[in-house]
Every structure is written in structure tokens, then in C-alpha cells.
């Protein structure tokens, strides 16, 4: 998978304590240079840190015969059954697990950072099986087999096939990437030409929200239950969010989406309908309404004005637009209609 990142503009996986540029993955390793030892193996990936898990999965797709992705709440008493059923012959972890009682001699330490590694092996990649575990309420977790095609099929079916410079899209999620829902968001970010803010191990929700804001997250996914746990009460969260950012959650998210739309209007030829989908408005009508209300012009007029100003060069004063590219929204914030928890 990581060969797909060669030559792309800078995009990142941001963790709580480290970050990785996706363009640096080719020719680098998070496995201490031991990737070749895992070729053709059935590998159990059991990590505490999500960023370490993400880097391991990206590096071993097409190398390992099978990747078994352990969920963070998998009980140690159920690990032997998983090892047996999945025919595990290697374990990758971000901590020492030599005392876990599992008779697996090949152990590789993974990291949430990368270092220079051996050049990528050219040739036909191995069709890696991805095994995800369900979160059963009782008993051992069930194991569901996928491949990279089935895991990314929904992304490939997304409307709009025109190449777009969407590197300004920044994803975040309350799902754990070691579960199906979180893995889908990881794939949407790294294969859809975006960046991803990864939650840290044990990171408080409030700190994760602050990091999402610091990195300019445009798409944040989660179930209503996730949001209730994150926000506690809407009034309390709105008060704390405004104290931290100076604006309301609705206004902040709308500002991020409008700023992302402006960048795509400036840098791509994508139609307004596709831009609306990419930045989270859903429909062109929604983008036009909010863009006209907040910027004073239509998206099409904004694009024409920007490009006319770019062609005219220095000495020309472009049309002044309200709050251009700041990601902040002024005026009456009660007009903001974008829902903070709205699916992106």
C-alpha cells in the first residue's frame, strides 16, 4: 500500500506525540528494518498506540500473507484462540510481549515513528488477508476475513472520479482504527489524498478535540454515542469549545468547510457539486447557500474572481471577500446551519 504515496504532496498522519509524512513511507520503516522477516507470514498486530498500528498495517499490506488486527479491548485469555485459528506465526507489537505465554518465536517491535529502511522490494505484492475482530459482548471475538479491495470498495464507489487536489482535507474519528469503522476512515484519508489526526493511547477526548482544531480537521466521524460521550452536554461543550477556540462548534466547522472549499475552487477545476461533497456540505445547493451568505459571492464567481486576480498579477486589487481563508466566521452565528456532528 505504501508505494501509492510516492511523489504525492505532503500529507500526514498526526499522532498525539509524533507525526509521519505519508510521502516519506516509501523506503522507510516503522518495524526497525525487519519487514523482510514478515514476508509471507500470518502476523498478529497487537498495539497500544493507534499510530503504530496504522504504520504497521500500511507497511505490511502486500508483504504479509495475513494481518490479524487486534482490538484494544481484546482479553488476553482469548488471544490463544485467535493465534490458533489464524495460524499466527509472527507477532508485531509496540511493547515487549515476551511474557504473554504465546508460543510464537518471531516477535517484531513496531513504532509510531519511521526511520530509513531498505528499499522497497519490487515485484508482485502478496494478496494480504485482513482479519478484523468483532467486539462481542461475551465470549471470544469473531474473526472476519477481508482483503484490501473489500475494505476500500466503498471509497472507490464514492461519486466523482475527477482527480482533485484534496490535500487540504483533514480527517479525524472517534472510532478506533483497529475496528472496521475506524479503518474505513484511515483508508479514506490516506487513499483519498487527505491527512488524518489519530487519537493517542488513553488520550482524553478534550485533548483530542483540541488537536483536531489545531490541525484544521474538516471531517470528523463518530456515532451519536461517540458524540454524547465526547461532549457530555451540548451546552457544557459549546461553552468550553468557545473558550478554547473563540467561536462556536457550528461556526468553527462551517469555517473549516468554507476554507477547504475556497482552496479547491482556487487550486482545482472540480465542479461545485464535487467540491460540496468533498468538504462535507453534501450538496451544491448547501455550499452555494453558505458560500453566498458568508463570502458574499457564489462559488463560481469566487473562482472566476480569484483566477482573474491571479492572471492580472501585482498591482491589481482583487475583489474583497469577507473573512477570506481564515477558517473563522464572523457576524451572526445563529445563521450557521451546519451540524457539528453531521456526517462528512
Identify the band that residue 289 occupies on the pLDDT scale cut at 50, 70 and 90: very high
* Domain formed by 2-181, architecture: 3-Layer(aba) Sandwich (3.40)
Residue 94 is predicted with a pLDDT of 96
DSSP symbol at 163: -
Q: Output 282-285 pairs: Cβ under 8 A, ≥24 positions apart.
A: none
pLDDT at 29 over 90: yes
Question: If you average pLDDT over residues 199-210, what whole number do you get?
Answer: 90
Percent of the chain with pLDDT strictly greater than 70: 79
Multiple choice CATH, 232-335, 3.40.50.720, 1.10.540.10, 3.30.110.40, 1.10.10.60 = 1.10.10.60
pTM above 0.85, yes or no: no
pLDDT at 105 over 50: yes
Strand extents, DSSP E, the chain: 12-14, 19-21, 28-29, 42-45, 66-69, 90-93, 107-109, 115-116, 129-133, 143-147, 170-173, 195-197, 219-221
> Tell me: the pLDDT tens digits for 31-50?
999 999 999 999 999 999 99
Closest Cα to residue 93, out of 69, 77, 115, 73?
A: 69
Residue 8: predicted pLDDT: 54
Mean pLDDT, rounded, for 167-182: 90
Residue 112 in this model has a pLDDT that exceeds 70: yes
| pLDDT surpassing 90 at residue 342 | no
- Predicted local distance difference test score (pLDDT) of residue 243: 84
pLDDT class of 329 with cuts at 50, 70, 90: very low
CA distances from 227 to 71, 147, 230 (A): 21, 30, 5
The reported pLDDT for the residue numbered 118 is: 66
DSSP-assigned letter for residue 102: -
Summarize pLDDT for 120-139 with one digit per residue, the tens. 554 578 899 999 998 655 66
Between residues 185 and 240, which one has the greater pLDDT? Answer: 185
Mean pLDDT of the residues in the chain = 82
User: pLDDT band at residue 161, thresholds of 50, 70 and 90?
Assistant: very low
User: Which residue is listed with cell 492580472?
Assistant: 312
Asked whether residue 140 carries a pLDDT value surpassing 50, the answer given is yes
Cell of 25: 513511507
Rounded to an integer, the average pLDDT of 293-311 is 87
Q: Please give the residue that has the higher pLDDT: either 97 or 341.
A: 97
Domain ranges in the chain are 2-181, 232-335
pLDDT of 164 strictly over 70: no
What's the pLDDT score for residue 154? 77
Calculate the alpha carbon distances from 235 to 31, 249, 252, 253, 255 in Å.
45, 11, 16, 17, 20
Q: Tens digits of per-residue pLDDT, 246-281? A: 888 888 889 999 999 999 999 999 999 999 988 988
Residue with cell 457544557: 236
**Residue 44 near residue 83 (C-beta atoms within 8 A):** yes
Task: Note the residue count of the chain.
Answer: 344
Residue 134, pLDDT score: 85
Question: How does pLDDT run across 44-80, given as a tens digit for each residue?
Answer: 999 999 999 999 999 999 999 999 999 998 988 899 9
| Average pLDDT of the residues in 170-198 | 92
For residue 266, CA distances in Å to 271, 279, 291, 316 come to 12, 14, 14, 17
pLDDT of residue 191: 86
> How far is 333 from 77, CA to CA, in rounded Å?
52
Selected residue with higher pLDDT from 31 and 164:
31
Burial of 218 (0-12, 13-18, 19+ CB in 10 A): buried
- The predicted structure's pLDDT at residue 318: 39
**Eight-class DSSP state of 199:** P
Place of cell 500470518: 42
Cell, residue 161: 472520479
Mean pLDDT score, 325-333: 35
Amino acid at each position: 500500500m505504501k508505494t501509492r504515496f510516492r511523489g504525492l504532496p505532503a500529507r500526514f498522519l498526526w499522532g498525539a506525540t509524533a507525526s509521519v509524512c505519508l510521502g516519506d513511507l516509501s523506503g522507510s520503516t516503522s518495524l526497525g528494518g525487519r519487514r523482510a522477516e514478515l514476508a509471507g507470514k500470518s502476523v498478529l498486530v497487537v498495539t497500544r498506540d493507534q499510530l503504530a498500528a496504522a504504520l504497521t498495517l500500511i507497511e505490511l499490506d502486500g508483504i504479509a500473507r495475513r494481518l490479524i488486527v487486534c482490538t484494544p479491548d481484546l482479553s488476553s485469555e482469548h488471544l490463544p484462540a485467535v493465534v490458533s485459528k489464524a495460524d499466527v506465526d509472527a507477532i508485531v507489537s509496540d511493547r515487549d510481549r515476551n511474557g504473554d505465554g504465546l508460543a510464537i518465536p518471531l516477535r517484531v517491535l513496531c513504532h509510531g515513528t519511521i526511520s530509513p529502511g531498505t528499499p522497497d522490494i519490487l515485484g508482485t505484492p502478496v494478496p494480504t488477508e485482513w482479519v478484523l475482530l468483532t467486539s462481542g459482548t461475551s465470549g471470544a471475538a469473531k474473526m472476519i476475513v477481508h482483503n484490501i479491495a473489500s475494505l476500500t470498495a466503498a471509497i472507490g464507489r464514492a461519486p466523482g472520479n475527477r482527480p482533485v487536489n484534496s490535500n487540504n482535507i483533514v480527517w479525524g474519528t472517534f472510532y478506533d482504527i483497529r475496528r472496521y469503522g475506524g479503518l474505513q476512515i484511515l483508508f479514506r484519508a490516506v487513499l483519498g489524498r487527505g491527512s488524518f489526526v489519530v487519537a493517542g493511547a488513553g488520550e482524553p477526548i478534550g485533548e483530542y478535540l483540541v488537536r483536531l482544531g489545531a490541525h484544521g480537521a474538516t471531517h470528523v466521524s463518530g456515532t451519536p454515542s461517540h458524540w454524547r460521550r465526547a461532549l457530555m452536554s451540548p451546552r457544557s461543550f459549546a461553552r468550553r469549545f468557545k473558550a478554547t477556540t473563540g467561536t462556536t462548534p457550528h461556526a468553527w466547522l462551517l469555517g473549516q468547510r468554507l476554507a477547504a472549499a475556497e482552496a479547491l475552487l482556487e487550486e482545482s477545476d472540480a465542479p461545485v457539486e464535487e467540491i460540496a461533497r468533498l468538504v462535507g456540505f453534501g450538496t451544491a445547493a448547501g455550499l452555494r447557500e453558505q458560500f453566498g451568505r458568508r463570502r458574499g459571492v457564489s462559488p463560481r464567481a469566487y473562482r472566476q474572481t480569484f483566477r482573474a486576480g491571479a492572471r492580472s498579477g501585482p498591482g491589481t486589487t482583487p475583489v474583497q471577500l469577507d473573512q477570506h481563508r481564515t477558517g473563522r466566521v464572523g457576524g451572526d452565528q445563529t445563521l450557521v446551519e451546519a451540524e457539528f456532528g453531521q456526517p462528512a
